[in-house]
Structure 1
Amino acid sequence: MDFSVVRQPIFNRQQNKVAYQISFMNKTQFSDKCIPMSVFSDRSDPRKLNDLLVDAGINQYSDNKVLIITFEKNTFKNIIDYFFSSRGLVIELSKKETLDTELLDLVQKASRNNYFLIMDDRVLYNGYENYLKSISHVKISVKNKKRSLVESLINKAKRFNLRIILDDISSHEEFKQYSLCKVDFFKGDVFSKQNLVEVRTNTLNEGILLNVFQHVMTDNYCYKELTSIFESDIKLTHKLISFLNTSLYGRQGTIGSIKQAVCFMGENNMRKFISLLTAQELTQTRTTDIYTKAVSRARFCELVAMNTGKNKTFIDRAFLVGLFSNLPDILGLDIQEALDLLKVNDEIKKALLGQECELKKYLESVIAFEQADWQLLYSVTEGHNISPDLVGRLYNQMIREVRNNSYLH
């Protein structure tokens, strides 16, 4: 099936990832993130909605979690009679649809067919109560809304026994405030940010890892000096040798010495390994989501660079730009302070500071795709050797590799 998809996580009150929102790329209407009608071209009996989605490959984005897929009215109308197993799938109706009698009839029919449906917070305003009787979830955006209004909408949703998804949560304070309202689910960038108080308890500066990181960030760094640094930290040495002796790295035989390990890794792979180890150390006080997002973006940037004919140095830097593009969220520091601490390459620094350079375009294209901002994606890639369709295919590859821990090969 020829379409590009990005997933965005949904969290519960315990900040556990429980679902993914799936957004589809529409090349003619960028704001449309609905599933395309072409997915349902096979109407063979028995018509099972879940089976069609599996055949289209959409299940690969689930990681055994619930998928939320947005439908526009006409597509939904065409599949309303399909057999629908609610396990693992919730349908959201596009917020662009007019709340008219035709849509209400469709929603009521879906309810009779036991479809789990999400609608946006327009249905919580006066006059749309009939919708509330037929849907299972409501998504409330907190963006540009006063807290009193959001709480009023939450209370109304609760009166109709609806499960609530709060969207556009942007800060830990906002999350804590609305958690007190006993909301079911949350969506927003806040879950990729680390609390400053947690960062301050981190032991990165107390160990040797920061010195190693700063050393390998230097072009053509000294192998002998790096070996000496490793020799002063048994724990770090153990991590390096253990890593190389696992099947993950895809080699036979064993590595038995620091010098052998440093030489075997090579400059670029050592830089990648230490960067990942540093990111892992920085995020150790939080759930794995921060680290996973950083690694995913790093590999995504690297794949785009690899598939657009870039040399090894550029590919290496693309990986690092992706990995540390979340530095303010990871460290709780201003980006300039974070970069000064880690002493990264000047080209990487320029890209992360938003200064014009080729690396910046690669990072922007990846972030635009992650955010399902199709208009920005096409704008950023125009005039560059980056195809939006290629970015979509590489996103799928990145998902598979991160899931299988094969992105370091």
Structure 2
Amino acid sequence: MEYSAVRQPIYNARKNKVAYQVSFWHRDNPGLKAIPMSIFDDQSDPRKLNELLSKAGMNQYAENKTLIVSFQRTALEKLFNYFFSSRGLVIELAHNEKLDDELLALLKVGHKLGYPIIIGERALLSGNEAFLKFCSHIKISAKGKNLNIVEQLTRKAKSYKLRVIIDHIASDDDFTHYRSCKADFYKGDIFSKQNLVEMRSNKLNEGALLNVFQHVMAEDYCYAGLTDILAADAKLTHKLLNFLNSVMYGREGTIYSIKQAVCFMGEDKMRKFVSLLTAQELTDSRPEDIYQQSVSRARLCELIAIHSGCNRSIADRAFLTGLFSNLPDMLGLDMEEAIETMKIHHDIRLALQGQESNLKHFIEMVLAYEKADWQSLERLSEQKRVSSELLPRLYRQMLQEIRTETFLVN
């Protein structure tokens, strides 16, 4: 059985990615993001849990990082009956679990078995402190709270020697704001909306990068014109050819010139490569996650478009829509100014502005999946007639292709 899930990164105070939170999609209860009980149906061999978790896609989500997985108490009981190492797995109690004596007894078992356990901020309320003694972490939401409240909650958690995760960070400013609380970990858009004026001016004025990008954005662009633009900047030409050959290595042979590249690859694929190089250049002094998130969105948008029966041209534009959905974070501008700077195709522009277009639903579906907003995803899937059963397969395909860069030659 396949499970719909998404991973979301957890960062430390130095903005290093240290873990992934995996959220599952329950169609009968979209607000619940806990691991499905059906994973534990076969308990004939207690050593099978590793295999069961692999079937749920865990090994694909982890990438050598710690995994945080939400559990309901019934699933916890099943987990604790398996001979399964606690290494690499952090348990988070499902948000809707009642804090009662039965749960407290279960937490004691988990604590004795050595499982790191995350509990929600409700446990900090007066009368619930007994639960804190058997947990290792606490998650505090920054949403709708001022700094003083978060600081008070963090101090109380620290007094119980708990490690603190602050959730719902909406921007780099938010991250800077709440980091003063001296929490241990952060979840949310911690790189969003940074002031990148210096980086922006350097990158967009470097050689012919912006001219090349704007040239290939045009319908039926002229490859002779592209060659002429690049001829004025040998450094950028060299960089583009290196980029192409690093991806094509061992697959298609070596590309020696821009003319050869365009003739060999075709206009649409060349447009994709130039766009990827542009995104890479704009983010090369930024955390790798910005570029990785952009490319992940791009490929998932493209896959959804392909499986929706769209033609190649629409699928390519869906790719570019996903790729440049992060433009504000790449350029340190709001979306309107960023779109104007890059001279993006009209259909893509409409989608990025949230206006109605044949590309809008693709990026909306990807963003909903990324945020584990299962209710919105269900609605959007019905509108585009995309099977919700298909999406987890496409998501896992995207993760695999991003790791191996095979999406670039597909």
Which residue in the other structure is 2:355 paired with?
355
Mapped pair 1:385 → 2:385: yes
1:35 CA drift (Å): 0.5
Instruction: Give per-residue Cα distances to partners, 1:243-293, cap 9 Å, x unaligned.
Output: 343463554443223322232221111110111111111112211000000
* Partners of 1:128 and 1:48 in 2: CA distance: 35
Structure 2 residue runs of 5 or longer lacking an equivalent are none
Relative to structure 1, the CA distance from residue 195 to residue 345 in structure 2 (aligned partners, 3 Å threshold; closer, same or farther) is: same
Alignment of 1:110-259 (within 5 A): 110-197=110-197, 199-200=199-200, 202-246=202-246, 248=248, 251-259=251-259
Instruction: Give per-residue Cα distances to partners, 1:135-156, cap 9 Å, x unaligned.
Output: 0111111111121111111111
1:201 CA drift (Å): 5.0
Relative to structure 1, the CA distance from residue 172 to residue 218 in structure 2 (aligned partners, 3 Å threshold; closer, same or farther) is: same
* Partners of 1:217 and 1:292 in 2: CA distance: 22
| Code of the aligned partner of 2:139 | K
* Partners of 1:222 and 1:290 in 2: CA distance: 31
Once the two structures are overlaid, the 10-residue window that deviates more, 156-165 or 239-248, is 239-248
Relative to structure 1, the CA distance from residue 173 to residue 245 in structure 2 (aligned partners, 3 Å threshold; closer, same or farther) is: closer
User: For the Cα contact (< 8 Å) 1:192–1:293, is it kept in 2?
Assistant: no
User: For the Cα contact (< 8 Å) 2:322–2:363, is it kept in 1?
Assistant: yes
Question: 3-state SS of the aligned residue for 1:195?
Answer: coil
Question: 3-state SS of the aligned residue for 1:274?
Answer: helix
1:51 CA drift (Å): 4.7
Q: Give the TM-score normalised by the residue count of structure 2.
A: 0.95
Structure 1 residue runs of 5 or longer lacking an equivalent are none
1:95 CA drift (Å): 1.1
User: For the Cα contact (< 8 Å) 1:249–1:408, is it kept in 2?
Assistant: no
Question: 3-state SS of the aligned residue for 1:379?
Answer: helix
Mapped pair 1:84 → 2:73: no
Question: 3-state SS of the aligned residue for 1:168?
Answer: strand
Question: 3-state SS of the aligned residue for 2:383?
Answer: coil
Relative to structure 1, the CA distance from residue 267 to residue 35 in structure 2 (aligned partners, 3 Å threshold; closer, same or farther) is: same
Mapped pair 1:35 → 2:35: yes
Q: Percent identity?
A: 56
Relative to structure 1, the CA distance from residue 193 to residue 399 in structure 2 (aligned partners, 3 Å threshold; closer, same or farther) is: farther
Instruction: Give per-residue Cα distances to partners, 1:347-394, cap 9 Å, x unaligned.
Output: 111111111122101111111111111100111222323222222210
User: For the Cα contact (< 8 Å) 2:347–2:358, is it kept in 1?
Assistant: no
User: For the Cα contact (< 8 Å) 1:12–1:186, is it kept in 2?
Assistant: yes
Instruction: Give per-residue Cα distances to partners, 1:215-269, cap 9 Å, x unaligned.
Output: 0000000111111111111112112322343463554443223322232221111
* Partners of 1:294 and 1:263 in 2: CA distance: 27
User: For the Cα contact (< 8 Å) 1:240–1:261, is it kept in 2?
Assistant: no
| Code of the aligned partner of 1:45 | D
Once the two structures are overlaid, the 10-residue window that deviates more, 99-108 or 25-34, is 99-108
| Code of the aligned partner of 1:222 | C
Aligned residue-pair number: 409
Q: Give the TM-score normalised by the residue count of structure 1.
A: 0.95
C-alpha RMSD over aligned residues? 1.7
* Partners of 1:263 and 1:276 in 2: CA distance: 19
* Partners of 1:379 and 1:192 in 2: CA distance: 27
Relative to structure 1, the CA distance from residue 144 to residue 342 in structure 2 (aligned partners, 3 Å threshold; closer, same or farther) is: same
| Code of the aligned partner of 2:237 | T
Alignment of 1:42-57 (within 5 A): 42-47=42-47, 49-57=49-57
User: For the Cα contact (< 8 Å) 2:247–2:408, is it kept in 1?
Assistant: no
